[in-house]
Amino acid sequence: MPGGHRDILIVGAGATGLAAALELVRRGHRPRIIDSDAGPVPLVESRALGINARTMTLLSPSRVSDVIQQVAFRVDRLRARSGERILFEIDPGRVTGKFHAMQILAQGHTERLLISKLSDYEVEPEWQTVLERVEGSMEKPIVVLRRPDGTAEEAAPDILIGADGAHSAVRKAAGLGFPGQALEASFYLADYQYPQPVDPHYVEIELVDPGMIGRLPVSSDTVRYLSTLPDFEKRIRHPMPGGQAVWVSNFRIHFRHVEKMSVGNVFLAGDAAHIHSPAGARGMNLGIEDACWLAYLISEGREQEYSARRIPAVKTVLKQTYGLTSMVTMRNPVATKLRNMLAPLAVRIPFVANRLLRGVAGYDTPPPPWIDGAQ
């Protein structure tokens, strides 16, 4: 059946679902996208901040990357320190390619850019619309939706895409397990807004042994601090006095992924299929990558290849983020001293530094074959 004539329902209008809808509509499809929330994630509560070069490449055909470049901040330095000692500093600009390795833009802003571009194709997310259940077989799923006015609707899409997050109703309906593990430690974050602009072009991790405090820019006057320490706010090195916390949160980190990302004509993408540490800023980026690959394969009539193509990439990213997280959360004093001694030496080795930077850029997964010159 020609791709454009298939009925496609996307559940979840976060960055992953929106990217899937945009790539599908750009290829001539007319997907329907629903979400149980009232709108996109609030700008002041954006968990994801980094947009890597792979995502910029994937969003270039739709021209969303052009807009991101106008409003995002480039990360020009990645730094690790222990006390007053800088362990190492790496320039992401060393990664060659059309796009900078990493840029910073709040997830809420990114989602609004995707929604705006979708509206150019006259596709709008249906907010406050809930997937209540999936019936029938996964080859021919029948969904029951609950509209904002409380009325029920039954639909039978040819393709059902679950981009509905870690607690995915689509994944559960498809009977797919979500094996993995959680780290013992909790993570804490606080976004501080300052009365004057701050340098938004670097990311820093301070190792306090045990534990860490990460510094990530959110905007020209706001910085996010991420830590394994409950009292970390007392230890923050503020760039200036007068900073005020505008959002605080805490969470547990899980490393989980499905064994396969599709059953019949039901497909999973983003957090519905895999969750992991924010180390390396891969979460939202990997979800957008899933979405773009799925849209491409659907358009080619090869969607049954999706799971086999994406699972290796997912495993690569989970392995990388687990390693990075383990390095910054270690508590054994002997191990931390060894890490602090060896890390500066390791990043001076070109192979190690290049591999790290390619991971930051998202270039450690297969390049999209539909974009000429993609790395």
Cβ atoms within 10 Å of 349's Cβ, excluding its own: 10
CATH of domain 185-252: 3.30.70
pLDDT tens digits for range 257-296? 999 999 999 999 999 999 998 887 889 999 999 999 999 9
CATH architecture type of domain 3-75+100-181+254-361: 3-Layer(bba) Sandwich (3.50)
In this structure, what token pair is assigned to residue 63? Answer: 């021209």
pLDDT at res. 2: 43
Sign of CA dihedral 269, 178, 265, 310: positive
Higher pLDDT residue, 242 or 325?
Answer: 242
Long-range contacts of 235-242 (CB under 8 A, 24+ apart): 235/208, 236/190, 236/192, 237/206, 238/192, 238/194, 239/194, 239/198, 239/199, 240/194, 240/195, 240/196, 240/198, 242/194, 242/195
Domain ranges in the chain? 3-75+100-181+254-361, 185-252
pTM: 0.95
How many whole angstroms separate alpha carbon 93 and alpha carbon 76?
A: 6
pLDDT at res. 154: 97
Sign of CA dihedral 323, 327, 333, 334: positive
Whether 20 has a pLDDT exceeding 60, the answer reads: yes
- H helix intervals, 40-106: 53-58, 64-71
Whether 306 has a pLDDT exceeding 80, the answer reads: yes
* 59-67: average pLDDT: 97
Asked if residues 3 and 28 have their Cβ atoms less than 8 Å apart, the reply is yes
Among residues 218, 238, 272, 206, which one has the least CA distance to residue 49?
218
* 6-24: average pLDDT: 97
Among residues 260, 268, 241, which one has the least CA distance to residue 11?
268
Give the rounded percent of residues in the chain with a pLDDT score beyond 90.
Answer: 78
Whether 168 has a pLDDT exceeding 60, the answer reads: yes
For residue 1, name the pLDDT band (cuts at 50, 70, 90).
Answer: very low
pLDDT tens digits for range 196-206? 999 999 999 99
Say if residue 92 is exposed, middle or buried (CB neighbours under 10 Å; 0-12, 13-18, 19+). Answer: buried
* 123-149: average pLDDT: 97
pLDDT tens digits for range 336-365? 889 889 988 998 998 988 999 999 999 999
Looking at every residue in the chain, the average pLDDT score rounds to 93
**100: enclosing H helix or E strand:** none
How many whole angstroms separate alpha carbon 212 and alpha carbon 197?
A: 25
Lay out the sheet containing 130-136: strands in order across: 130-136, 141-146, 152-155
Question: In CATH terms, are 3-75+100-181+254-361 and 185-252 the same topology?
Answer: no
pLDDT at res. 43: 85
Whether 129 has a pLDDT exceeding 90, the answer reads: yes
pLDDT at res. 286: 97
Which residues are registered as beta bridge partners of 135?
142
For residue 244, name the pLDDT band (cuts at 50, 70, 90).
Answer: very high
pLDDT tens digits for range 326-339? 888 888 888 888 98
* 212-234: average pLDDT: 94
Which residues are registered as beta bridge partners of 250?
188
